[in-house]
Amino acid sequence: MLPEDKPNFVSLMSNIAELYKDKLSVARLEIYWRCLQHYSIETLRKALDAHVLNPDQGQFMPKPADIVRLLEGGNITKALQAFNKVKRAVEQVGSYSSIVFDDPITHVVIEQMGGWMQLCKLYDKEFSFKSLDFQKLYVRYVHQKPFRHPKQLTGTMDGVNLRNGYLTKPPVFFGDQELAMKVYQEGEEKNTTIEYQPTNLLSKHTEEK
């Protein structure tokens, strides 16, 4: 939404609050606005309609998280979708080429699992067993956005060329091309593979909760 959409947003949220016999203060409206302003007013209206008609959750006034869940799906669902995309990329692209996904969190998680080449090596025997680890790490970074991410995940050939000082080929952009390009442009040129320690990471996340 744009700033000029705010009056329509306030009207929409006030109508929903009235339906639930609730009253939104200026402070509460501002919180809803900050959390939801990157969605269009029409998209938001459809999500609110869906909430109202939900036989399980529709009896309560929706919080911002309820609305985001309707718009984007739960975090576990998002993590599973991201893993399935990685699986397709392993099958279709493989370890030979460097790759750029359309999601920076996927880059961070794969780097912490040993990198793109290592993940591709696991495909035949162990890949399916890594799904849960991937999802748990992914959800952690949904809650706590990473400050940085590698612009691409290095493939076998680029790894060899970089070590020998040769030119590298452009990476494969996988998924939404515009989003993948944004990930590439906003990522770091050089990256270091982070040691894979899912137990420690998950324990820290549990303590934070």
Full residue range of the structural domain in which residue 66 is found: 3-72
Backbone angles phi, psi at 101, to 5 degrees: -90, 170
**Claim to verify: residue 150 and residue 92 sit in the same structural domain:** yes
Q: How many domains does the chain have?
A: 2
State the Cα–Cα distance between residues 134 and 111, nearest whole angstrom.
11
**Claim to verify: residue 108 and residue 178 sit in the same structural domain:** yes
**Claim to verify: residue 38 and residue 15 sit in the same structural domain:** yes
The residue from 55, 72, 89 where one domain ends is: 72
pLDDT at 183 over 90: yes
**Claim to verify: residue 42 and residue 93 sit in the same structural domain:** no
State the Cα–Cα distance between residues 151 and 146, nearest whole angstrom.
13
End-to-end distance of the chain based on CA atoms, in angstroms? 31
Residue whose token pair is 């030979």:
96
**Claim to verify: residue 121 and residue 67 sit in the same structural domain:** no
Q: What is the DSSP letter of 2?
A: -
pLDDT for res 125: 65
The residue from 18, 44, 72 where one domain ends is: 72
**Claim to verify: residue 100 and residue 185 sit in the same structural domain:** yes
pLDDT for res 205: 38
**Claim to verify: residue 42 and residue 134 sit in the same structural domain:** no
pLDDT at 141 over 70: yes
**Claim to verify: residue 93 and residue 179 sit in the same structural domain:** yes
Residue 161's pLDDT band, with cuts at 50, 70 and 90, is low
Residue 115's pLDDT band, with cuts at 50, 70 and 90, is very high
The residue from 16, 48, 72 where one domain ends is: 72
Residue 191's pLDDT band, with cuts at 50, 70 and 90, is very low
**Claim to verify: residue 176 and residue 123 sit in the same structural domain:** yes
pLDDT at 129 over 70: yes
Q: For 41-68, what is each residue's pLDDT tens digit? A: 998 998 999 999 988 889 999 999 999 8
Q: Collapse the DSSP code of 108 into the 3-class scheme (helix H, G, I; strand E, B; otherwise coil) and give the result.
A: helix
**Claim to verify: residue 55 and residue 156 sit in the same structural domain:** no
**Claim to verify: residue 32 and residue 135 sit in the same structural domain:** no
pLDDT at 119 over 60: yes
- Strands (E) across the chain are located at 99-101, 172-174
**Claim to verify: residue 149 and residue 100 sit in the same structural domain:** yes
pLDDT for res 181: 95
Q: What is the mean pLDDT of residues 81-105?
A: 94
DSSP string, 125-172: TTGGGGHHHHHHHHHHHHHS--S--BSSB--HHHHHHHHHT---PPPE
pLDDT for res 71: 82
pLDDT at 207 over 60: no
**In the predicted model, what is the mean pLDDT of the chain?**
85
